[in-house]
Each structure stands twice: as structure tokens, then as C-alpha cells.
Amino acid sequence: QSVLTQPPSASGTPGQRVTISCSGSSSNIGSNYVYWYQQLPGTAPKLLIYSNNQRPSGVPDRFSGSKSGTSASLAINGLQSEDEADYYCAAWDDSLNGRYVFGTGTKVTVL
């Protein structure tokens, strides 16, 4: 099972702000960067945020990431219908000789 915990769902109306939390521990989020991936229905995951708060080229600036201690958050400002997707946080975990861990995933619904 995943060591990074996310709420199973989040929702908002178009234009609203939605935030997704990701809770970890000292061996992952507490000591390493956090990454966020977006998975649109029926497609492969896509890198959304890297190194806590950096956006790859092409990712709209309405997506932002932050980290504090052993938790992280993804915010979507000005929610749009095309943002309806599953979102996963991830981080390197220093325990057990190192491994990459994903969060449990959050389904964002645009009402």
C-alpha cells in the first residue's frame, strides 16, 4: 500500500480553487522533493509539478505546488472542466534502500 496519503476525492465548480493534500513522513516528503502527476481519464500519467513547486513547460500556471514539513499540497486555481482527472503526489523514499512512492490518488470532479 502507498505511504503517501491523499483524500480520495475533491470537487469544485468552474472558476473555483481546489486544493489536494498529500501526507507523508520524514523519509519521503520530509527529506525529498514532491512531484505531482495528472492522469486524465483513459490516458497515461503526465508530470504536472516537479521539485515541490516547479511547472514543466506547457503546464498552465493555475496549477501550483507547495510543501511544508511532511506534507504537500496541489492547488488548482480557476478550475476548468478539462482539469477533471486523477492526481497523484510522489516522492523518493529513503527507507528500505530507496524507492519511489506514489500517493493514493485524488479524483477531482468539476461540478
Partner 1 sequence: EVQLVESGGGLVQPGGSLRLSCAASGFTFNTYWMSWVRQAPGKGLEWVASIKQDGSEKYYVDSVKGRFTISRDNAKNSLYLQMNSLRVEDTAVYYCARDRVGAAQGVVYYYYMDVWGKGTTVTVSS
Residues that bind partner 1 (CB under 8 A): 2, 32-33, 35, 37, 39, 43-47, 50-51, 56, 88, 90, 92, 94, 96-105
- The CA dihedral of 64, 82, 3, 100, to the nearest 10 degrees, is -80
Q: Which is nearer to partner 1, 16 or 95 (CB)?
A: 95
Nearer to partner 1, 23 or 32 (CB): 32
Residue number with CB closer to partner 1 (70 or 104) = 104
Q: Residue 85 CB, nearest distance to partner 1 (Å)?
A: 13
Residue of 56, 44, 55 whose CA lies nearest to 85: 44
Among 101, 96, 43, smallest CA distance to 72 is for 101
Q: Give the nearest distance from C-beta 47 to partner 1 in angstroms.
A: 5
